[in-house]
Amino acid sequence: MTELHEGTLDTTTLAELREITTRYPQARSALLPMLHLVQSVEGRVTSRGIEACADILGISAAEVSGVATFYTMYKRRPVGDYHVGVCTNTLCAVMGGDAIFERLKDHLDVGNDETTEDGKVTLEHVECNAACDYAPVVMVNWEFMDNQTPESATRLVDDLRSGVEVTSTRGPRICTWREAERVLAGFPDDRADEGPAGGPPSLLGLAIAKENGWTAPSSEAEGRTGQPARTAQEAQETSYSDRARSETDIEESGAETVGEDAGGEQNPKGGS
């Protein structure tokens, strides 16, 4: 179905779209945050939002549409106040993500990428949220809700629909989807420092490193072991030395050689 293009965006939104372009050396690099701003105003990427971005950037509407339809965070249908994304990628799925998604579909009476009748919740199964240490993970407007179960996820969406204030596991209070989209467009909401940024599972590797006295190399010139990297000449000399020792060992063992294999190394006669 073709969407009617009626009017244009309001002057404030147009001014903010132009402001976003000033943040980049090349204006068209601003397209991604511009589309997030369109969603914060329109509730999705609309035809007039596409036209506005195209006009400001001096590119075609088809080019803007190509970007808007490529990335899954851009929506062409209205999104509810709370976008609930259930990770169903491998680890979260086997830890219970699939069960959570099925429970929420039944509880909310919606399918994937559908919105409840009251317009409160849009449910979607999403790919890896890079939070495997807290699997299974649910995200509300891109904020983490860790270690979920079908029961806790059901309580979560009920709280969201009833207006109860919800705080993410590792982040701020949950805002509406449009408010979150405005933040993604580059207009902060002053909630960046709310809540913990990381927890014990994420910091476990750091704790183990401290217990063992492990440190990262102090410069790019040091190798993975923390020792100074060998120069190319040193590495080559070592390679020649190792090869010479290997050939000497073969000669001393009395074994005959029968030419080189595909890797360029000599094999003892009868070897595989």
Strand partners, 82: 121
The encoded tokens of residue 131 equal 């939070």
Q: In this predicted structure, which of 36-40, 68-72, 261-265 has the lowest mean pLDDT? A: 261-265
Q: How confident is the model at residue 21 (pLDDT cuts 50, 70, 90)?
A: very high
pLDDT tens readout for residues 185-243: 999 999 888 888 778 888 888 999 999 999 988 776 555 555 555 444 554 555 555 55
Omega prior to 150 cis, within 30 of 0: no
Same domain, 140 and 88: yes
Type of residue found at 60 = S
By DSSP bridging, strand 82-87 and strand 121-126 are: parallel
Task: Tell me the mean pLDDT in the region 25-54.
Answer: 97
Task: Tell me the mean pLDDT in the region 59-81.
Answer: 96
Whether residue 106 is contained in a domain is answered as yes
CATH number at residue 97: 3.40.30.10
> What is the domain range of residue 141?
82-177
Cβ proximity of 100 and 149 under 8 Å: yes
Residue given tokens 């993604």 in the structure block: 184
Higher pLDDT pick, 11 / 221: 11
The encoded tokens of residue 136 equal 């299974």
Q: In this predicted structure, which of 51-65, 170-184, 188-202 has the lowest mean pLDDT? A: 188-202
| Sheet of strand 138-140: strand arrangement | 114-115, 121-126, 82-87, 138-140, 143-145
Type of residue found at 199 = G
CATH number at residue 28: 1.10.10
Q: How many helices (H) and strands (E) does the chain have?
A: 10, 7
Whether residue 237 is contained in a domain is answered as no
Element (H, E) at 9: none
pLDDT tens readout for residues 87-107: 999 999 999 999 999 999 999
Distances (CA, A) of 204 to 35, 200, 207, 210: 37, 6, 5, 10
Nearest to 200 by CA among 169, 179, 228, 164: 169
Number of structural domains, the chain?
2
> Is residue 154 predicted with pLDDT exceeding 50?
yes
Q: What angle do CA 52, 55, 57 make, to 5 degrees?
A: 105
Neighbours of 56 (CB within 10 A): 18
Same domain, 125 and 149: yes
Same domain, 60 and 113: no
- Rounded to whole angstroms, the Cα distance separating 157 from 265 reads 64
Type of residue found at 240 = Y
